[in-house]
Amino acid sequence: MSNHLKFYIGGAWVDPVTPKTLDVINPATEEAYTKISIGSSADVDKAVAVARKAFASFGQTGKAERLALLKRILENYRKRKQEIADAVSEEMGAPSDWALNAQATAGEIHLLSTIKALEEFEFEEQRGNTRILREGIGVVGLITPWNWPLNQIVCKVAPAIAAGCTMILKPSEIAPISGVIFSEIVHASGVPAGVYNMINGDGPSVGQVMAAHPGIDMISFTGSTRAGIIVAKTGADTVKRISQELGGKSPNIVLADADFEAAVRSGVENCFSNSGQSCNAPTRMLVPRDRHDLALAVAKKTAETQKVGDPKAPGTILGPVVSEIQFSKIQKLIEAGIKEGATLVTGGTGRPEGLNRGYYVRPTVFGNVKNEMTIAREEIFGPVIAIMPYDSEAQAIEIANDTVYGLSANVESKNIDHARKVARQIRAGQVKINYPAWDTFAPFGGYKQSGNGREYADWGIHDFLEVKGIIGYGA
């Protein structure tokens, strides 16, 4: 029997206190393929009660017990990895290969990284006559997005377990089924009752209730800056810790000494991956003015090789965006780019040719973009890239930093010392040089309105810990 209409509270699958359902839409077909229940404050109260009770014992467990639990979760995750991928493909339209090799694999890699980090983590140290203890903060509320569902679920749940916290997860109501499967995995792994709980629901009905709840000690939130501000304001009355990973408008500085055509091509592909639905996507490409036209030609050619279509069809690179709301937002922002005078190089409004159903967006390249334009300021969250000319390296750095966001950035150069010098001047939580491999041991999080706190490996564990000094403890 499917658990789609149930919540996981206190070690069991339970019905909501007040029945209310929501259709889950497949964005490739625009049709509902299942339903979930929507929670309420009564469900949150139940979950908080069991989580607080469980913390009394789980918070005192040793590293070995938590490691054993994470290793069992990893073992069971691997057994159901294909099911997770299938769910992600259905709920957010990810192409089948991408759903398996990127989306589902992300969760597996975060489990591996957290296990390794926990094995090496020290929770106590002696400083003179004082003992420093790092203890789980308590009950944590985890609010995760739809764009990388397993990535964000696991890089919150795994370090929360490692820190000795108990938790309540609210997956995105737009892409919730992968979260249901993950909850089944945790249950099968023998998590003690009350340590891990999961409630489906929307922001007002569950997310804001969690943020306001006096029995929750911390909220870890990933989502839009707009929603993050609401969570932070709501949580302020109880002075709980709020850790946030929010929006981005990441610059990609292609320096004059870069392998230029390869850098532009990779920049477009990185921007468009996951149908452009990544908060750290390099959406603003900065190129030397005298090579701007070459950049547009390379970007156009690259964009037009990005096959858009049915997620289950062989060769599909980009599936639909996740929802009608998201599709409409992207269309309006493309229209704004045209209206404000940017050069539309390829793509534009409407669906790609031959696709009459599904939330498919044309891979779109804009040139001659100025940093005051809407498409350079606002997070689009679709396969749309803004190419911007610069006259000097100092100007490129100034443009890159001229944003309310600061999540990620890229620097491209064949001279590593040159790239390092520029990277140090970018105000962002992560700066990538020459499209490196994904590093789940690097801190992930933002400056400015891209949030606070850091995730991944030991960085994530630290976020869920309180620090206690016992003075007079003795050497």
Unique residue bearing structure tokens 């909850």: 183
Compute the distance between CA of residue 10 and CA of residue 8 in angstroms, rounded to an integer: 7
3-state helix, strand, coil in the chain (%, to 5): 40, 20, 35
279 is catalytic: yes
Alpha-carbon distance of 236 to 220, in angstroms, equals 14
Q: What is the three-state SS of 339-364?
A: HCCCEEEECCCCCCCCCCCCCCCCCE
Q: How far apart are CA 169 and CA 155, in angstroms?
A: 12
Residue type (1 letter), 213: H
User: Which candidate, 282, 152, 198, 289, places its Cα nearest to that of 6?
Assistant: 198
CA distances to 3, 16, 17, 173, 346 from 38, in Å: 13, 8, 10, 8, 41
Structure-block tokens of residue 127:
């400083």
Question: Can you tell me the distance from the alpha carbon of 465 to that of 453, in angstroms, rounded to the nearest whole number?
Answer: 12
The token duo for 215 is 């029995």
Give the pair of three-digit tokens for residue 475: 């050497």
Spatial contact of 468 and 163, defined as CB atoms under 8 Å apart: no
Residue whose tokens read 């070690």: 11
From the candidates 90, 279, 412, 455, which is the catalytic residue?
279
> How many C-beta atoms lie closer than 10 Å to residue 221's C-beta?
29
**Residue 258, phi-psi category: left (phi > 0), alpha (psi -120 to 50), beta (remainder):** beta
Nearest alpha-carbon partner for 433 in 255, 246, 288, 249: 255
Question: Cβ(450)–Cβ(429) under 8 Å?
Answer: yes
Residues 6+ apart with CB under 8 A from 197: 7, 8, 9, 10, 47, 50, 51, 166, 167, 168, 169
90, 91, 173, 245: which one is catalytic? 245
Catalytic residues: 245, 279
